[in-house]
Structure 1
């Protein structure tokens, strides 16, 4: 080992002593005992101990300073780069964390934790390819690592490889964290029923899991199953009564279900803890207006629009409150601002019409009333269409396609630009044997919405049946593009490619189907058939 001259040794000790004095004199003040220890022994072990002390107190920037000094004294340490990188990552300094974590990984390539933190840092920096490599390396170290599976699955989903992501997670979906990640991928694929079932089953086995409960409630909200979301949240709140994010979600659900008696005290409690929070100010204002307390509602809604002036709903509710307080001029300003921000509810035009009438602007008021009536008519048309569509669904399920066709046509008379309704009509026509009209209606459906995967898949099926493999392939590819989780379309695409003797592409397509549904009988049969054909070639 190379020795230092007495003069250089004295210089190093002086530098370290000065560094110790700077550490104790600045914002990063360790305990008195550690400061004394540092003055007596300004070495790597002492700085590491100080870093740990700061880390335990979540003072990560100070911890990073201490670990950095320790590493300068022990540059060959395998542990210190990890501790430095972890502290920098925890403090939000991602750019600084990556070199330290990379050094840790290079010096100890079989350690799992440094790779996981490095992968997470790279992902947050949008360096996706590098992150993916680290997640893969982590899985080679520990194939059961939950964090690595979640990380790699999210990278695959971001690439559009949803089948690969689902296959990676499905075998471990009993783990709560894995179930949450898999459900989030289902949500991205608009597979809300699958997400709900997965989370419900997982929560039954892990009833105290907060992430499972909040994710399930969020999925319920997307499905507009508000009562179900309230039930999930209420149970979770009993188990986790102090979690602020859960309480906020519960409040949102309570407002949607109209449970004001529970929502009002909760809203006041949360606002007291976060008095400048836009959402809490807004929800308190809405609840106070509903309770007839216009004065308090005005105060909170004015604070809400000051906190975030770009939310139309806040301006709308403030406008209603101001009108109730006989301030039509200010109400007009707020309601017009809501419209400018993109609000489309007919009630805004109605409320603005009343305010304009109060201000003597009768011509403008009449125009707003006309817009209100038009909006109500459109809403009524949507309501009629929804009712007729539901009746059509029931008729089709009971085996009466002719009745279903009649009902779907009535629904389309009300809302002709509804792509899904056109698809439903096409299926009824198919059941009735009217293939020519079905083709026309399906083409209309994808003209309205090219991403309607079910319609693309059915058009592909019709094209395949009439022997037009090129058109069939095009429609099946459009179906899986629009809905990568659509296993049936992957099977149909594989079969079409197989008929064109494009066996390698067909095998890839059927593999995608089996990643989504490992027990899909059509996919399994097609896989075996393709394997036999390629073996015989």
Structure 2
């Protein structure tokens, strides 16, 4: 019925009665994944000290959550365990294969697909996903596999597109053109097929038609540097020198932006490693280097603030958090930490505001709820604090901090 807030409340109530309810854990974690609330999925399904006894759905959701937070090694471990316990699960197998590809472990990914298809040889979505990975990784097996799927599914638009890609690589432009045109007829809004048809038509010398399809790909959302380069070459061949120069300028800017993003991501990963090794000073330096390259990344400022907190550089931490929130007001972790700093400084009203923002953005963020309850208690808003703690026990019935704070509030006087 699309009443997701009400649905989440009912799942929480179910978990308050039975914390191991498979139906509630499956459904709530799926809802969180759909909302990209990955931190809450991890908090729900991977609690410290909890013996993993997950359903297939829970394993899939937790793996997707770790992948969503770019913790790919953890994602692979969770999904591998899930697949071991649920050998027939195609969704887990497919997600695991994709994560392994992202980790550069191509042969392992192929093995996962092979095993999955040995159990489900006629599953079309898995076959098409397998073909995508083979084509994208430029495997020697890609062309033969595309032939096989094309024979099995001659009217499947993705198969037609991927067959066209492989034929284009082999210089079989007429055959590629036919398959790409068929694919576009079935799904005209898929911009990669529009771009590939443009490239093929350029190879065949039909420059005006090539430009039309490349322009259509850009209009559909293709923002990769390569398409601007292709358009520059086409404009040059068509004698439009001014447009060719403009497209080269756009291409160079996009390439620089992509290069900067890759370089910054590398610095950030090194910073994450330094944090895990207990070297926050080194991590802070790496995060600052990353921010010099990409200065508008909210998550980088938040990571820098975490390192500064460990270094006890609280003034620097506050500046970094303020910048993170300025760039992304919906970054719940930054809002929560700003609330913690305000609470520690005795600025309870400001702290309450930050905590309320954090839980509005992420209703399942248990730490922020507990911090809000503690701040309300500091303001002597005893009844409000009790109500917040009551909600925490619905979210996380076994939360030790909530129970301790509840005991402390038990004998508190009425609100003033």
2:164/2:176 contact within 8 Å kept: yes
Aligned residue number for residue 463 of structure 1: 342
Q: 1:482 to 1:272 in 2, by over 3 A?
A: farther
Q: 1:196 to 1:477 in 2, by over 3 A?
A: farther
User: Is 2:255 the counterpart of 1:376?
Assistant: yes
Aligned residue number for residue 303 of structure 1: 182
Question: Aligned-pair distance for 1:147?
Answer: 6.8
Q: 1:252 pairs with 112, 129, 132, which one?
A: 132
Q: 1:172 to 1:160 in 2, by over 3 A?
A: farther
Q: 1:265 to 1:497 in 2, by over 3 A?
A: farther
Aligned residue number for residue 63 of structure 1: none
Q: 1:354 pairs with 192, 209, 233, which one?
A: 233
State the alpha-carbon separation in 2 of the partners of residues 430 and 186 from structure 1. 25
1:319/1:333 contact within 8 Å kept: yes
State the alpha-carbon separation in 1 of the partners of residues 27 and 245 from structure 2. 57
User: Is 2:232 the counterpart of 1:232?
Assistant: no
Listed as ranges, the gaps of 5+ residues in structure 1 are 1-122
Question: Aligned-pair distance for 1:353?
Answer: 0.7
Aligned residue number for residue 477 of structure 1: 356
2:302/2:334 contact within 8 Å kept: yes
Aligned residue number for residue 409 of structure 2: 533
Question: Aligned-pair distance for 1:418?
Answer: 0.9
Q: 1:371 to 1:496 in 2, by over 3 A?
A: same
Q: 2:143 pairs with 264, 268, 281, which one?
A: 264
Aligned residue number for residue 508 of structure 1: 390
State the alpha-carbon separation in 2 of the partners of residues 395 and 168 from structure 1. 26
Q: 2:213 pairs with 334, 356, 359, which one?
A: 334
Q: 1:339 to 1:159 in 2, by over 3 A?
A: closer
2:228/2:247 contact within 8 Å kept: yes
Q: 1:532 to 1:179 in 2, by over 3 A?
A: same
State the alpha-carbon separation in 2 of the partners of residues 173 and 277 from structure 1. 39
- Structure 1, 195-204 or 355-364: larger mean CA deviation: 195-204
1:226/1:253 contact within 8 Å kept: no
Query: Which whole-Å deviations, capped at 9, do the CAs of 1:114-172 have from their partners, x for residues lacking one?
Result: xxxxxxxxx6xx6889999x999xx9xxx9997798568868999999989x9799999
Aligned residue number for residue 33 of structure 1: none
Q: How does 1:35-434 map to 2 (within 5 A)?
A: 174=53, 176-179=55-58, 183=62, 186=65, 197-217=77-97, 227=106, 229-259=109-139, 261-434=140-313
Question: Aligned-pair distance for 1:321?
Answer: 1.5
2:76/2:99 contact within 8 Å kept: yes
Question: Aligned-pair distance for 1:423?
Answer: 1.5
1:476/1:490 contact within 8 Å kept: yes
Aligned residue number for residue 448 of structure 1: 327
State the alpha-carbon separation in 2 of the partners of residues 410 and 250 from structure 1. 38
Query: Which whole-Å deviations, capped at 9, do the CAs of 1:163-220 have from their partners, x for residues lacking one?
Result: 89x9799999846455367548958986976765544323222323334323544666
1:446/1:456 contact within 8 Å kept: yes
2:56/2:86 contact within 8 Å kept: no
Question: Aligned-pair distance for 1:411?
Answer: 1.6
Q: 2:368 pairs with 470, 473, 489, which one?
A: 489
Listed as ranges, the gaps of 5+ residues in structure 2 are none
Question: Aligned-pair distance for 1:278?
Answer: 1.6
Normalised to the residue count of structure 1, the TM-score between the two structures is 0.63
Query: Which structure has the greater CA radius of gyration?
Result: 1
Q: 1:509 to 1:499 in 2, by over 3 A?
A: farther
2:67/2:99 contact within 8 Å kept: no
Query: Which whole-Å deviations, capped at 9, do the CAs of 1:404-425 have from their partners, x for residues lacking one?
Result: 3333222212111111111122
Between the two proteins, the alignment pairs up a number of residues equal to 401
Query: Which whole-Å deviations, capped at 9, do the CAs of 1:71-123 have from their partners, x for residues lacking one?
Result: xxxxxxxxxxxxxxxxxxxxxxxxxxxxxxxxxxxxxxxxxxxxxxxxxxxx6
State the alpha-carbon separation in 2 of the partners of residues 190 and 425 from structure 1. 17
- Structure of greater relative contact order (alpha carbons < 8 Å, 6+ residues apart): 2
